Amino acid sequence: MSDPRGVIFDLDGVLIHTDELHFHAWSQIAKRLGIPFTREDNDRLRGVSREDSLDIILALGGPEVSATEKAVLADEKNAIYRRLLGQLSPADVDPAVRETLAELRRRGLRLAVGSSSKNAKMILERTGLRESFDAVSDGENVTRSKPDPEVFLMAAQFLALQPAQCVVVEDAGAGIAAAHDGGFPCFGLGDAAQHPDVTWRIDKVEDVLEHLAV
């Protein structure tokens, strides 16, 4: 790719491993409902909104649940998750991630977060990552979650750039689909590396530096 001007980072599973905390929180809800829930099942929730995540879990064999009960369960999961987030600190961010963000900024790139999470700003504040970004687009400013491209389109807009001037870094198939649909080239990490619409497969966040040369 020639001359990107901005990089949009997914949060959970890319900048920080809150995916483990989502797993613990959802495990408690699934256990209460008598639904077997594995780490492989949890991988299907990457990048997916809280409400859609609950539907995926209930489809694993749960009881019939009304819309009101679903709202209560989603709130309970979020309360457990937020209690776990209370333990986060700057030490939970891989120094290589922090250094990658600093180096991209030294290279003159504008940086944004593009996350489905409604807790993204709290996570960024607690980990001291907020100041590494020019803009944050998250679950609070979208009406449609990944795989819809809205969260990345808003991030590009916040950076005053076009999608083709940005690259997205994602760990989730839903996020790769969102980036591709929105016209963004994208890096795929972890499970997302296998997605057919990935532009570049990478093993770790710092690998973006090789592809986004000065």
Q: Which residue is nearest to ligand B16 (CB)?
A: 115
Given the residues 12, 19, 148, 171, select the one marked as catalytic.
12
Residue 55 is a catalytic residue: no
Half-sphere exposure of 154 (CA within 13 A, CB side): 20
Exposure class string for 63-102: b at 16+ Cβ within 10 A, else e: eeeeeeeeeebbeebeebbeeebeebeeebbeeebbebbe
At 147, the amino acid letter reads: P
Picked from Mg ion, ligand B16, none, the partner binding residue 98 (CB below 5 to 8 A depending on kind) is none
12 part of the active site:
yes
Out of 78, 141, 165, 199, the residue judged to bind ligand B16 by CB under 6 A:
78
Please identify, using beta-carbon distances, which residue of 23 and 200 lies nearer to ligand B16.
Answer: 23
Say how many C-beta atoms besides its own lie within 10 A of residue 24's C-beta.
Answer: 12
| Type of residue found at 96 | A
What string marks each residue from 13 to 52 as x (binds Mg ion by CB under 5 A) or -?
A: x---------------------------------x-----
Distances (CA, A) of 209 to 96, 104, 187: 11, 7, 11
Residues that bind Mg ion (CB under 5 A): 10, 12-13, 47, 171-172
Q: Kindly list the catalytic residues.
A: 10, 12
Residues that bind ligand B16 (CB under 6 A): 10-13, 22, 45-50, 53, 78, 115-119, 139, 172
